[in-house]
């Protein structure tokens, strides 16, 4: 190693040591701390607002970083470190640490707003819906970027409340830890409903009966196929309603007890299951439902036309109802157009021109507009399966018209001859 590189390495180590020393709580300037009374706001504020890194009064405040977005325990640990720097021993430093409500007041005075856990201090020693609501109303938007109306049921509300309480509670021992406040007992969901509404209320008031299981599971969107799946779904919803645990006195229902509910759920899921084209819904005696290709709805069924069985049912199932409707309606219109046509039998000497003239006269502007209107409406309501039915009916009508013309033309020739 050269002399130059040795000086460079030594300089790097010196910079690193300086950075570590500057970030160490032991280097914080604590001239206004001494041994402040933890119950005196002015003394605690004077200590926290004047503690800073480095020498002089121009260094960064020791408590500024994370003052509003860290827990009370984090602030308390920093304060105890300052007390040790001021000359207090470990046990004395812990005793000099103020309460979380005091830290909340000082933090608000220093930063202009309280920390996210400020409304969760002063636990009353028993569950109080008003305390829980006040706590979560500030904690959720400030810490979670959420709100009470977005909480996922009773279990989610209790979990958030307990996390907020831990953030606002310190326990003094040999060191300082966070925990739940004295007297805290996890509330049941009926009590929590006063804060979040009736989320999970359908599973409260537990009783080991089929009726309670039916009320709790309800119209769940979870796919259930057997007894084990039903029991697991039921227990999951019970835990959501009872703060993450099963209710006191919980006794699993046997599969024999759950069978009626399982049958109800399977029947409901079968009715809601998407069906292939042409497959009837359970409970519908007809062969197919109308409106599958359009917006007429389930109330339009084949039975409305009296085609509930026999060959008509098989035809609908094979060809599709839109095709048959198009064929029938366009066929009737085509037949009516031919019958109402006033075209006279052509002159046999007219040749092909007579045939074309006859067809054009029998399919003039009137029939064209009628077919066009029916074609547009049917396609819009029933989809593209209307198209082949309409075309088949029209082409067949033209063939019938040609046959009638041919017969008329043949008779005309025989009469001439």
What's the predicted TM-score (pTM) here? 0.51
Contact, 43 vs 147, CB < 8 A? Answer: no
pLDDT at 328 over 90: no
Please give the C-alpha separations between residue 261 and each of 38, 200, 210, 211, 249, in angstroms, as whole numbers. Answer: 61, 20, 8, 9, 22
pLDDT at 114 over 60: yes
**Span 256-298, pLDDT tens digits:** 999 999 888 888 877 776 655 445 444 444 433 333 333 333 3
pLDDT band at residue 303 under the 50/70/90 scheme: very low
pLDDT band at residue 189 under the 50/70/90 scheme: confident
pLDDT at 364 over 80: no
Instruction: Looking at the structure, tell me whether residues 71 and 206 fall in a common domain.
Output: no
Instruction: Looking at the structure, tell me whether residues 41 and 163 fall in a common domain.
Output: yes
pLDDT, position 239: 82
Count: domains in the chain: 3
Residue 336 lies in a domain: yes
Strands (E), 218-369: none
pLDDT, position 53: 76
> How high does pLDDT run on average in the chain?
75
Instruction: Looking at the structure, tell me whether residues 114 and 263 fall in a common domain.
Output: no
> What letter would DSSP give residue 302?
G
pLDDT at 12 over 50: no
Residue 214 lies in a domain: yes
Contact, 362 vs 344, CB < 8 A? Answer: no
pLDDT at 380 over 70: yes
**Span 28-80, pLDDT tens digits:** 455 678 789 999 999 999 999 988 876 555 668 889 888 999 999 999 999 99
Residue 277 lies in a domain: no
Report the range out of 51-65, 214-228, 297-311 with the highest average pLDDT: 214-228
pLDDT, position 322: 75
* Domain end (from 168, 188, 208): 188
Average pLDDT over residues 237-249: 80
Of 297, 401, 398, give the one whose Cα is nearest residue 345.
Answer: 401
Instruction: Looking at the structure, tell me whether residues 243 and 375 fall in a common domain.
Output: no
Residue 407 lies in a domain: yes
Instruction: Looking at the structure, tell me whether residues 24 and 95 fall in a common domain.
Output: yes
pLDDT at 224 over 60: yes
pLDDT, position 343: 47
Q: Name the residue range of residue 210's domain.
A: 200-272
- Higher-confidence residue: 206 or 317? 206
pLDDT, position 122: 94
pLDDT at 314 over 50: no
d(Cα 152, Cα 150) in Å, to the nearest integer? 6
- At a CB cut-off of 8 Å and minimum separation 6, what does 297 contact? 290, 291
pLDDT band at residue 340 under the 50/70/90 scheme: low
- Rounded to a whole number of angstroms, the distance between the first and last alpha carbons of the chain is 130
Residue 311 lies in a domain: no
pLDDT, position 356: 57
Strand 176-178 with 170-172, pairing? antiparallel
Average pLDDT over residues 166-187: 93
User: What are the backbone angles phi and psi of residue 328, rounded to the nearest 5°?
Assistant: -70, -50
If one counts every other C-beta atom within 10 angstroms of the C-beta of residue 120, the result is 27
Instruction: Looking at the structure, tell me whether residues 375 and 262 fall in a common domain.
Output: no
Average pLDDT over residues 104-119: 95
d(Cα 134, Cα 131) in Å, to the nearest integer? 5
Instruction: Looking at the structure, tell me whether residues 169 and 205 fall in a common domain.
Output: no
Residue 169 lies in a domain: yes
Report the range out of 58-72, 162-176, 264-278, 325-339 with the highest average pLDDT: 162-176
Instruction: Looking at the structure, tell me whether residues 363 and 229 fall in a common domain.
Output: no
d(Cα 383, Cα 206) in Å, to the nearest integer? 52
Helix or strand holding residue 170 (H, E): strand 170-172
If one counts every other C-beta atom within 10 angstroms of the C-beta of residue 119, the result is 20
Instruction: Looking at the structure, tell me whether residues 367 and 266 fall in a common domain.
Output: no
pLDDT, position 404: 67
């Amino acid at each position: 190693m050269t002399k130059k590189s040795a000086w460079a390495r030594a300089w790097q180590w010196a910079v690193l040591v300086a950075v570590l020393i500057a970030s160490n709580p032991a280097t914080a300037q604590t001239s206004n701390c001494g041994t402040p009374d933890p119950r005196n706001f002015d003394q605690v504020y004077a200590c926290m607002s004047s503690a800073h890194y480095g020498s002089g009064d121009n260094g960064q405040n020791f408590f500024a970083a994370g003052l509003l977005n860290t827990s009370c325990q984090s602030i308390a640990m920093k304060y105890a470190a300052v007390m040790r720097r001021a000359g207090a021993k470990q046990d004395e430093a812990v005793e000099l640490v103020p309460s979380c409500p005091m830290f909340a007041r000082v933090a608000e005075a220093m930063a202009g707003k309280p920390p996210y856990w400020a409304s969760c201090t002063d636990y009353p020693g028993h569950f109080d819906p008003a305390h829980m609501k006040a706590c979560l109303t500030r904690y959720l938007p400030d810490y979670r970027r959420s709100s009470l109306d977005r909480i996922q049921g009773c279990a989610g509300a209790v979990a958030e409340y307990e996390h907020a309480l831990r953030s606002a509670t310190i326990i003094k021992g040999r060191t300082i830890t966070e925990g739940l406040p004295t007297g805290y007992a996890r509330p049941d969901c009926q009590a929590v409903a006063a804060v979040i509404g009736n989320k999970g209320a359908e599973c409260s008031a537990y009783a080991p009966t089929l009726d309670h299981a039916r009320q709790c599971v309800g119209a769940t969107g979870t796919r259930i196929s057997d007894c084990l799946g039903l029991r697991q779904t039921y227990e999951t919803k019970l835990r959501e309603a009872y703060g993450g645990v099963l209710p006191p006195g919980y006794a699993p229902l046997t599969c024999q007890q759950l069978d009626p509910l399982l049958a109800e759920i399977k029947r409901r899921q079968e009715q809601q299951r998407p069906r292939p084209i042409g497959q009837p819904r359970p409970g519908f005696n007809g062969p197919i439902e109308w409106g599958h290709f359009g917006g007429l709805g389930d109330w339009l069924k084949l039975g409305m036309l009296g085609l509930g069985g026999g060959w008509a049912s098989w035809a609908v199932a094979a060809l599709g109802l839109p095709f048959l409707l198009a064929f029938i309606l366009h066929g009737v219109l085509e037949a009516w157009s031919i019958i109402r046509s006033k075209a006279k039998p052509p002159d046999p000497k007219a040749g092909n021109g007579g045939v074309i003239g006859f067809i054009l006269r029998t399919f003039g502007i009137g029939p064209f507009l009628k077919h066009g209107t029916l074609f547009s409406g049917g396609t819009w309501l029933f989809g593209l399966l209307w198209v082949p039915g309409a075309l088949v009916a029209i082409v067949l009508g033209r063939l019938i018209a040609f046959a009638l013309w041919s017969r008329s033309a043949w008779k005309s020739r025989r009469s001439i001859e």
